[in-house]
Chain A
């Protein structure tokens, strides 16, 4: 595969072959935010080493008006891994996800306290540039929401917001984004047709292509498959597995098998609290909490 001209800045995310970049990313992050955990990584750089923390929540609370939706969340989202958020409806998964890219700013009643760091910088700070944050932290929604524009313009929309491209660079960027989202072959002959003519599953992959076209580090997916048929769901899951070594992915899902299939870590939420968060395998085999076990085995929720 050729190296696409990604819009990534900061040298953390590129589309080049993974292992080398991974090392670079580790070293870079260490020089900026050394933590005991990462020092350990330096001492023993084995493949099984803990990846650096991408998003870190500490004593994080969130409210809608007087209603507290999240209570004291303590969570580490590892870099270039897939983290699944599970839990019954209304437990606050989407709320937390929307804080990761500050989409909650658009809800007037939403407030938060505590710290939420992206690579060691407080992303809740009013000084944090939301536009840049959202470029670095992309989002895919439950219902595919392509713009009523052509397929090409859907992908080119984000890049054009942030930079000026020559025509050929933009075409290349669009192609590589669509290839990355495994939809290029299906749409390459109709780039100028409306994106609304695509099937639901294709639309969702288009939305993923649109999100990665601006070169994000993190992809947030809020129940990306719940509006799709099983076949499209499988395609998206394949795609997530494919992307996981280049992007930090957080996925909200109600589908236990899906969480088990695609994620490296799983966080179980219940009534606004993070009950536990661990290796996905551990959550599904030997969870530390009774509620987790009941939920993943389908006894409630």
Chain B
């Protein structure tokens, strides 16, 4: 019985019907060809898309395209405003989303107790990453742009921080003079010797006068009504001094009003909502990729949990966190839907200079141009797409570079 077993086994093996080698090989080849064909279709589609965009858009890719604002004349239009708008919005988004996202990931991975509440939080962050970005646009609209109407309508904000209010007068030379004011609509009481500011004027290249952003201080002289006013800057007649012509808020870059309105800050914060889950998840993955033995090693030397995180875990995870963050930011730059929902103005002829300035972004401008019926604007859209693709490509290249240069093995 025992001696027969090997023979039995060999017989059993041989009992199976041999499969056709040629058919197996044919199937192998067929599978390979199918895969290649499917890949070819995808690559071809991408190639056609890129090709048509390049053919249509490359001729418009001149330096002036970057320096000109939007225009009704397609030949003069450029992407200066949306380019700078995208830069502002993306920077605000990065400054807010990265610290919050990375801190959240660190807390969830390194410090949070493993219980039902934190499991629920983890699950929902993954769910949030799948929410369509337009939904975040709606959230941003109520949360940031309107702030639930808590601070009044957008046009008449009830709370302003960091702005400087000026009343505007005109002197006998008909020059506007700014005088610091306390409250909108309440004229400051002017006396001779007060300080006002006159706008500096420059002579342009072709001889025309240009009003600059610079204001020089002058000492005011208030002359009574019945006296003849002398000629000169900073001389205001008493009857004019009682009521200023207008009020104006000078906005330093940090000026903020509530509600935020359709400002770059509101745009950046809305995009933060879009990318936050992505930043958190990619940072969590980066932290999880750090071998536990490093944490144990550090703790065993008497390091506290925080010292271990700060000096071992986070530094080891930084390259991966950076890669994930850059990819999240490139997503933010490409988003049009959430910004569209905010209701930002389409025709912007200035670059933002404060957090409260209006803005538009590259995808919005491209969307706007593609939806016009004139051929010329279609070509502009193609050129805009080339710029957007270049920006995204640059972001991805940096991410790849970081992955290759900084990402070293961890154990």
Contacts and interface: CB of A to CB of B under 8 A. Distances in A.
B304 interface: yes
Interface string B340-380: 00000000000000000000000000000000000000000
A72 to B, nearest CB: 27
Interface in A102-152: 103, 106, 108, 130-135, 138-139, 141, 143, 145-149
A37 B311 CA distance: 45
B300 A147 contact: no
Interface centre among A130, A143, A149, A157 (most CB of B within 10 A): A157
Given A103-B296, A157-B311, A161-B307, A145 B301 contact: no
B411 interface: yes
A182 to B, nearest CB: 20
A4 interface: no
B302 A145 contact: no
B301 A148 contact: no
Contacts of B114: 108
Interface in A54-101: 101
Given A148-B409, A196-B408, A196-B411, A134 B300 contact: yes
Interface in A168-213: 194, 196, 207, 210-211
B316 interface: yes
A158 interface: yes
Given A135-B302, A214-B301, A143 B408 contact: no
A210 B294 contact: no
Contacts of A207: 297
Given A103-B300, A134-B300, A214-B301, A145 B411 contact: yes
A125 to B, nearest CB: 17
Interface residues of A, number: 29
Contact of A148 (B302, B304, B307, B408): B408
A23 interface: no
B299 A106 contact: yes
B401 interface: no
A162 interface: yes
B183 to A, nearest CB: 54
B312 interface: yes
Contacts of B408: 148, 194, 196
A135 B302 CA distance: 5
A214 B299 CA distance: 13
B302 A141 contact: no
Contact of B293 (A101, A135, A145): A145
Given A157-B311, A161-B307, A134 B411 contact: no
A158 B308 CA distance: 11
A40 to B, nearest CB: 35
Interface centre among A108, A130, A131, A133 (most CB of B within 10 A): A131
Contact of B303 (A146, A161, A194): A161
B304 A145 contact: no
A108 B114 CA distance: 10
Interface in B306-330: 307, 311-312, 315-316
A196 B411 CA distance: 7
B199 interface: no
B296 A141 contact: yes
Interface string B268-297: 000000000000000000000001011011
B293 A134 contact: no
Contact of B300 (A138, A148, A149, A194): A138
B48 interface: no
A196 B301 contact: no
B410 interface: yes
B302 A131 contact: yes
Interface centre among B294, B303, B312 (most CB of A within 10 A): B303
B160 to A, nearest CB: 47
Contacts of B300: 101, 103, 134, 138-139, 141, 211
Nearest to A108: B114
Given A131-B304, A145-B291, A194-B408, A106 B296 contact: yes
B298 A134 contact: no
A147 B299 contact: no
Contacts of A148: 294, 315-316, 408-411
Contacts of B304: 131
B299 A103 contact: yes
Nearest to B291: A145
Contacts of A135: 301-302
B302 A134 contact: yes
Interface centre among B298, B300, B303 (most CB of A within 10 A): B300
Nearest to B304: A131
Contacts of B293: 141, 143, 145
28 contacts: A130-B302, A132-B302, A134-B299, A134-B302, A135-B301, A135-B302, A138-B300, A141-B293, A141-B300, A143-B293, A145-B293, A145-B294, A145-B296, A145-B411, A146-B297, A147-B298, A148-B411, A157-B301, A157-B312, A158-B303, A161-B303, A161-B307, A162-B302, A196-B408, A196-B411, A207-B297, A211-B300, A211-B301
Which 9 pairs, one residue from A and one from B, show the smallest C-beta to C-beta distance?
Answer: A134-B302, A135-B302, A145-B293, A139-B300, A158-B301, A145-B297, A131-B302, A148-B410, A161-B303
Interface of A: 101, 103, 106, 108, 130-135, 138-139, 141, 143, 145-149, 157-158, 161-162, 194, 196, 207, 210-211, 214
Given A148-B315, A211-B301, 13 more contacts: A108-B114, A130-B302, A133-B302, A134-B301, A138-B300, A141-B297, A145-B291, A148-B411, A149-B315, A157-B311, A161-B302, A210-B301, A214-B301
